[in-house]
């Protein structure tokens, strides 16, 4: 009887753990919105809609009322532009003057009694999503977050409406030829439908946000929101088991295994992934850690249907007989930089000890890179933060990783995994 009830008990216990399922909320904080594609990419905009008093203040600000009208007229006029399709998208982008107008309004509202506490103290700071700017005073933090959000929307428009190459064009670029006339018709339709969907309670950035996120959906680049709902179930048993784990019995809380995608359409994981899993299975059997965290999204080859973390968990269970409730999946990372960041998020959110390091398990070929300053420099450049410290370990082909809460910072310039 006890054995048959264990999975249900584990599931119920894990679902009661805040943040453990989706790994976006740090311990002690629960966001007032779901992990939608919009909220993941632009958390500030979601908070401005939910923080008491902010929505009404933004809707009634004279400068923003004027700006909204100007932007709407810009979009209407663009339907007749001749430099298509680029000019259609230009109408939706945030100009420096637009950004400055919103900045001024945010400063005015943040100075009103109680406003900063409702937004910044209660949500922005404890959410961790703006950690890159945590040293700033409240009004400056709001402005910096807004600047990031505007840059994120403009980046989506540039990449997915105008064909600007993203940081990793082989796996993240638009699926359309943005210079062809048929795409102009698609973009025109998208703009008109977005404008027609304007709502009475919209804030000045709501329609532009829907336009930008719509471009992601049109390009089938919704990776950031994939697996969010399934994660509650996938990690439930392991998160529940973590509560009763005797951590003193283990050298490390978890073994972290980063995915390696193949370059052919048939393979479900890359060859280095198999090597890393074999090494992790050996270390798990030796009792170095009670859990394995597998990290990786749908990355290689471009638009693959196979998810690295999901496939690694399956292989560890089927081929190495690792118990399913000893494996946590992180199914979004697309690069080594975000493997680090997302694993840090998950270690915090799932309740594993973060006051001592976990162990990154890699392979002989990748080991020099994992231990290099180049990786940490690149991680800071691409994620905006240093999500933890990587140091040498006395275990072959492995490194210790001490996570930092800054990992919860959301990066709008990385829309497939912010």
Measured CA to CA, the distance from residue 40 to residue 86 in angstroms comes to 26
What pLDDT was estimated at residue 230? Answer: 78
Residue 263: pLDDT band with limits 50, 70, 90: confident
Looking at residue 134, its pLDDT comes to: 97
pLDDT digits over 302-342, tens only? 999 999 999 999 999 999 999 999 999 999 999 999 999 99
Residues in Cβ contact with 263 at an 8 Å cutoff, skipping those fewer than 6 apart: 270, 300, 301
Percent over 70 (pLDDT), the chain? 94
pLDDT exceeds cutoff 90 at 82: no
Give dist(CA 286, CA 15) in Å, integer: 30
Residue 227, preceding bond cis, omega within 30 degrees? Answer: no
Predicted confidence at residue 364, as pLDDT, reads 97
pLDDT in tens, 148-182: 999 999 999 999 999 999 999 999 999 999 988 88
Nearest 10 degrees: Cα torsion 35, 37, 38, 40: 50
Q: Per-residue pLDDT averaged across 111-123, rounded? A: 97
* pLDDT given at position 266: 87
pLDDT of residue 11: 39
**Boundaries of every domain in the chain:** 9-15+235-408, 37-224
Give me the CATH code for the 9-15+235-408 domain, please. 3.40.50.620
| Confidence at residue 83, expressed as pLDDT on a 0 to 100 scale | 85
pLDDT tens, position by position, 310-319: 999 999 999 9
Nearest CA to 256 out of 224, 299, 288 is that of 288
Q: What is the number of other CB atoms lying within 10 angstroms of the CB of residue 254?
A: 30
Average pLDDT value for residue range 363-376: 97
Average pLDDT score over residue span 61-73: 98
User: At which residue do the structure tokens 């945010």 appear?
Assistant: 106
Residue 84 pLDDT grade (very low, low, confident, very high; cuts 50, 70, 90): confident
User: What pLDDT is attached to residue 20?
Assistant: 44
Percent of the chain beyond pLDDT 90?
88
Contact between 115 and 57 under an 8 Å Cβ cutoff? The reply is: yes
Q: Predicted confidence band at 7 (pLDDT cuts at 50, 70, 90)? A: very low
218-222, 226-230, 248-252: range with lowest mean pLDDT: 226-230
Give the residue among 307, 293, 294, 304 at the shortest CA–CA distance from 254.
293
Identify the pLDDT of residue 228. 87
Report pLDDT for 295: 98
Of 233, 215, 223, nearest to 159 by C-alpha is 215
Q: What is the structure's pLDDT at 233?
A: 85
Beta carbons of 229 and 331 less than 8 angstroms apart: no
Residue 413 has pLDDT above 80, yes or no: yes
């Amino acid at each position: 009887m006890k054995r048959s009830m264990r999975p249900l008990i584990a599931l119920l216990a894990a679902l009661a753990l805040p943040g453990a399922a989706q790994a976006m909320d740090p311990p002690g904080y629960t966001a007032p919105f779901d992990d939608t594609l919009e909220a993941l990419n632009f958390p500030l905009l979601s908070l401005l809609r939910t923080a008491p008093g902010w929505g009404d203040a933004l809707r009634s600000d004279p400068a923003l009322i004027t700006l909204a009208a100007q932007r709407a007229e810009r979009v209407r006029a663009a339907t007749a532009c001749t430099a298509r399709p680029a000019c259609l998208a230009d109408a939706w982008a945030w100009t420096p003057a637009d950004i400055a107008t919103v900045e001024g309004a945010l400063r005015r509202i943040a100075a009103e009694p109680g406003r900063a506490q409702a937004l910044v103290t209660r949500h922005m700071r404890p959410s961790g999503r703006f950690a890159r700017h945590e040293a700033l005073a409240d009004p400056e933090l709001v402005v910096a977050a807004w600047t990031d959000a505007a840059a994120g929307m403009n980046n989506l428009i540039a990449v997915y409406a105008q064909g600007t190459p993203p940081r990793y064009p082989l796996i993240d670029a638009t699926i359309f030829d943005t210079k062809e006339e048929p795409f102009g018709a698609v973009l025109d339709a998208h703009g008109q439908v977005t404008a027609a969907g304007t709502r009475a309670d919209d804030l000045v950035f709501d329609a532009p946000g829907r336009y930008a996120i719509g471009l992601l959906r049109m390009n089938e680049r919704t990776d950031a929101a994939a697996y969010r709902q399934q994660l509650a179930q996938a990690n439930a048993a392991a998160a529940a088991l973590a509560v009763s784990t005797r951590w003193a019995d283990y050298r490390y809380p978890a073994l972290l295994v980063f995915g390696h995608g193949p370059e052919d359409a048939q393979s479900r994981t890359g060859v280095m992934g198999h090597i890393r899993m074999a090494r992790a299975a050996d270390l798990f059997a030796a009792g170095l850690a009670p859990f394995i965290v597998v990290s990786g999204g749908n990355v290689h080859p471009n638009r693959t249907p196979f998810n690295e973390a999901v496939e690694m968990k399956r292989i560890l269970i089927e081929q190495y007989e690792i118990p399913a409730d000893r494996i946590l999946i992180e199914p979004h990372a697309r690069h080594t930089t975000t493997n680090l960041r997302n694993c840090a998020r998950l270690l915090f959110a799932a309740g594993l000890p973060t006051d001592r390091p976990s162990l990154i398990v890699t392979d002989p070929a990748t080991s020099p890179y994992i231990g290099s300053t180049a990786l940490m420099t690149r991680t800071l450049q691409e994620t905006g933060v240093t999500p933890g410290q990587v140091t040498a370990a006395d275990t072959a082909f492995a490194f210790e990783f001490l996570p930092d809460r800054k990992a919860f910072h959301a990066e709008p310039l990385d829309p497939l995994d912010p």
